[in-house]
Chains A and B, each alone.
Chain A
Amino acid sequence: MTANRTLAQGKSPLERLKITLARMTPGQMVLIVVMAAVFIWVIMALMVLPIINLLRTVFFEGGTFSLDTFTKLLKSKRAMKALRNSFILAPSLSITVGIVGISLVLITEYFDIKGAKILRLGYLTTLIYGGVTLVSGYKFIYGSNGILTTALRSVFPDMNINWFQGYGAVLFVMTFSCTSNHMIFLRNAMRAVDFQTVEAARNMGASQWYILRRVVLPVLLPSLFAVTILTFITGLSAMSAPMLVGGTDFQTINPMIHDFANMTTASAKSLAAVLSLILGLATMLLLAVMTAIERRGHYMSVSKVKTKIVKQKISNPIVNVLVHIYAYVLFIIYVIPVVMIVLFSFSDTVHIQARQLDISTFSLENYKSLLSANSAYRPFIVSILYSLAAAAVVGLLVVMACRFIQKRRNSLTSNVLEYGLMIPWLLPTTMIALSLMLNYNQSRWYMFNQPLIGTLILLLFGYIIIKLPFTMRMTKAAFFSLDNALEDAAKNLGAGEMYTFRRVIFPVILPTVMAIAALNFNSLLTDYDMSAFLYHPTNPTLGVKIKSLTEDMGTNPNGMALTFVYAVLMMIISGVVLYLVYGRGERSDLKE
């Protein structure tokens, strides 16, 4: 490859293209053409054209562009405050989640902590639930009638029972609920640390703290960059936590965007579009900055023969005790909300809302009424199939894209491809769903003249699109931390390109790809925003079913309790999926 570059240097782009083409076998050429066609189609037909169409209807209704939207927003104190809050939350969350996330990885993978395996299971609970359920779990503890608040109140009768509200509460809940990516990706990076480097440093007399800072952390950096971007985006688009514990002082912008996007007028939709474009552009800016930093430094581990890390006992006894205490406090913070959700799923709506844990109200009624209905299973099957298909297609597309980008680093085409697949981060899910619906309620030549309304594939397209950016970002990180020497070695031994990819590169990145697919699967399983608009009439998804339980003018007085039952069932499914994908990968790791 290096030879190619030197040869091609100093030639015009056209000549360079000619050289590249001349070196290709016919098979490779066909592959390139097919891949190009697929990606151009995915980006144009599924994202660019529908979104342009939507924005055109939204901004230019009546033929002219008006600045009304901007003046309305600037005039609105509430919108401006919410926007500011989002921009406060995102960076502060990036820091707190970063600190907690790194400490979790150190506790479970680097230091010798008693009971690390159990601790790890506790820290992993954020992978199986989220959103409203998770925040409700926290409210059962810290909320106005929560166990902690009730206990404190018996000691301090005059305390403010609504103490768990506002910026602090939102930051607290989100800090502990957004560490999933750290637990997966940062942990993978930690396991890639070469123990020989740690030992060498120690032999040279470096202290534990120094080794951590100068030897271990640098290896974690690329993954840390990637997960920090995700945390930042999560903070910007925070929804359930501010809604449930933000109080009047700390509301963020996303609930507002969501409500505007769900209104039928072009004017409301343009508000949603402008607000979400602001968030989207901030995301892209951060992404560009991070990518630039990433490019400048070479943070890869350079060792060729890695030694598995040996857990470090903390030498200072006081620090050791403190770290143990810290680890178990975190464990309690992580685990109790899950326990509460499970317990309350046996209770009824009245007690759930009052946050009163009363064993006498426990029964299996909720589970029975949910699972005995003959229509109960179908949504599970529908959602599982869709999520599975979408996770697989996204994984495949992104692996192909990343391979292309990896080989043509910094070229225009690879940048276009990369940012093209990031487009869905520019708009909220609801708007993307709308854009698809609006664009494909008629036949389009680029959709083979088929209207998509009322077809099964429409929702699949929706699911694929919303999972592209996350998958892209994380898979790319995996590709970039690949050791180039592996590929070069394979080439030197005469392996062809496909063979090298199939037998050398793919096996190395497969665990990450599978982990990402599992995360995608889990989050799609409960999706409501995309499903609500695009689901096939006779095949409603789980999210739609669950949402209907708590609709306005709802007809099920026990709806709230049933949402908890659903949450528990989802935890089980998510847990099984993670175990299959992740737990098994673990064992093969050990064999090595």
Chain B
Amino acid sequence: MKKLIALVLAAVMMLTLAVLPAMAEGADTKGTGVPLTIYTNSGSSGRAEWLTDRAKQDGYEITVVEEGAGAVQQRLINEGAATPCDVVFGLNAIIWNDLIARGILQAYDAPSWASEVSEGLNDPNGYYYAIVKQAILLAYDANQVSEEDAPKDWPDLWENEKFWGKYESQIKLTGGTTRNVLAGILTRYMDPEGELGVSEEGWAAIEAFFAHGTPVEDGVDLYAQMVNPDSPVLMGQMWSSGALQYDEQYGTKTGVAVPEVGIPYAVEGVGITSVTKNLDEAKRFVEWFGSAQIQGEWCEKFNTMPANEKAAEKADPRQVELCSIPAQNIDWAVVAANIDNWCEKIMLEYMQ
């Protein structure tokens, strides 16, 4: 009898050992070499190359297609069912929700690391899971503007005369940062009766926002204006990793408004297309890519702010500080459904 039990136990152990690799989690999930095509807007400055090489080490054969967020979105929409894309990563919540609404993505079971991601960043319905977050800030140069004199929230810019002309207003509404800022402002004024779901007050706010800003000088970034003594501009929109980058470059010291309602976060996520023919490999890749291990390496290499809290330990402390501002409560699905129409109205009626 004892012998039998021992035998069974041994068999069970053997089986467990044999099965274990298949149940591997996170960075231990190895690829099988099935080629995957991956679209992203987060592939420049050597990221695409690094990822391709790093993935290869763990058995993944990936091709990274890298272009701007809007271009990735357009490409996926227009390629339709013919898209060669298996996995998408990067983008932001607005685009993710648009892709979901168009049926371009499929929901998939949460990868093991999904629970390590800061709350509220993953898609509640499982279409995408967050990997990196960017705080969308109202930034100013603390060397020139004291905290007391600085705006506390976006509406200060147009409501308080002393900021008029001192902040940048955009001339193109296609960028992700701009759209997140607009979403952060307009969603405060949601009104089912109002034009495009926004109250009259909301549109008046937007009108004032654009009327009192100094239009962006095409090809010159915000920080170049802030340090230019001839330019009136002292503040404007900025994404968190950009703020650190520019501080280093221009010797500025970024101060940020900390609104009571919180700030929008551009959530870079990872999703799987609904037409992929390599679903299993795609899932394995997602499991691997979003793991604390790989995201930690990614963060160290490219100074990003991981959404994965375990990987966030490796992030730059200033980055962590900027991203500790509470997130504004925004219904991204509503934003995604309306943002193009909002931008269209702003372009036609309010922009300078």
Interface residues of A (CB under 8 A from B): 72-73, 75-79, 132, 136, 144-145, 161, 243-244, 248, 255-256, 259-260, 262-265, 267-268, 271, 349-350, 353-354, 373-375, 434, 437-438, 441-442, 451, 453-454, 532-533, 537-538, 540, 544, 547-557, 560
Q: Which residue of B lies closest to A348 (CB)?
A: B249
Tell me whether B109 is interfacial, beta carbon within 8 Å: no
Q: Which residues of B contact A248 (CB under 8 A)?
A: 215, 352
Q: Which of B229-261 contact A (CB under 8 A)?
A: 230, 239, 241-242, 245-246, 248-250
Q: Are B66 and A540 in contact (CB under 8 A)?
A: yes
Picked from A145, A255, A259, A555, the residue with its CB within 8 Å of the CB of B47 is A555
CB distance from A480 to the nearest CB of B (A): 40
Q: Which residue of A lies closest to B251 (CB)?
A: A350
Excluding A441-B81, A451-B82, A552-B178, 17 further A-B contacts by CB distance (< 8 Å) are A78-B347, A79-B348, A243-B171, A244-B217, A263-B340, A265-B344, A267-B344, A441-B83, A453-B79, A454-B83, A540-B66, A551-B44, A553-B41, A553-B239, A557-B248, A557-B249, A560-B221
Q: Are A551 and B41 in contact (CB under 8 A)?
A: yes
Tell me whether B349 is interfacial, beta carbon within 8 Å: yes
Q: Are A553 and B177 in contact (CB under 8 A)?
A: yes
Q: Which residues of B contact A374 (CB under 8 A)?
A: 49
The complex places the Cα of A197 from the Cα of B178 at a distance, in Å, of 64
The complex places the Cα of A123 from the Cα of B230 at a distance, in Å, of 34
Q: Are A441 and B82 in contact (CB under 8 A)?
A: yes
A-B contact count (CB 8 A): 159
Q: Are B74 and A264 in contact (CB under 8 A)?
A: yes
Q: Which residues of A contact B347 (CB under 8 A)?
A: 78, 256, 259-260
Q: Are A552 and B66 in contact (CB under 8 A)?
A: no
Q: Which residue of B lies closest to A266 (CB)?
A: B340
| 3 shortest interchain CB distances as A-B pairs | A552-B175, A353-B224, A76-B348
Q: Are B348 and A264 in contact (CB under 8 A)?
A: no
Q: Which residues of A contact B37 (CB under 8 A)?
A: 537
Q: Which of B1-17 contact A (CB under 8 A)?
A: none
Known: A267-B344, A454-B82. A78 touches B349 (CB 8 A): yes
Interface residues of B (CB under 8 A from A): 37, 41-47, 49, 63, 65-71, 73-75, 77-84, 98, 134, 171-178, 215, 217-221, 224, 227-228, 230, 239, 241-242, 245-246, 248-250, 266, 302, 340-341, 343-344, 347-349, 351-352
Q: Are A552 and B176 in contact (CB under 8 A)?
A: yes
Q: Are B84 and A454 in contact (CB under 8 A)?
A: yes
CB distance from B208 to the nearest CB of A (A): 16
CB distance from B202 to the nearest CB of A (A): 19
The complex places the Cα of A537 from the Cα of B48 at a distance, in Å, of 13
Known: A350-B224, A375-B49, A533-B78. A78 touches B348 (CB 8 A): yes
Known: A260-B347, A557-B246. A537 touches B224 (CB 8 A): no
Q: Which residue of B lies closest to A248 (CB)?
A: B352
Q: Which residues of A contact B84 (CB under 8 A)?
A: 453-454, 537
Q: Which residues of A contact B68 (CB under 8 A)?
A: 532, 547-548, 551-552
Q: Which residues of A contact B349 (CB under 8 A)?
A: 75-78
Q: Are A263 and B98 in contact (CB under 8 A)?
A: no
CB distance from A276 to the nearest CB of B (A): 15
CB distance from B182 to the nearest CB of A (A): 13
Q: Are B98 and A544 in contact (CB under 8 A)?
A: no
Q: Which residues of B contact A264 (CB under 8 A)?
A: 73-74, 77, 98, 340
Q: Are A72 and B348 in contact (CB under 8 A)?
A: yes
Q: Are A556 and B246 in contact (CB under 8 A)?
A: no
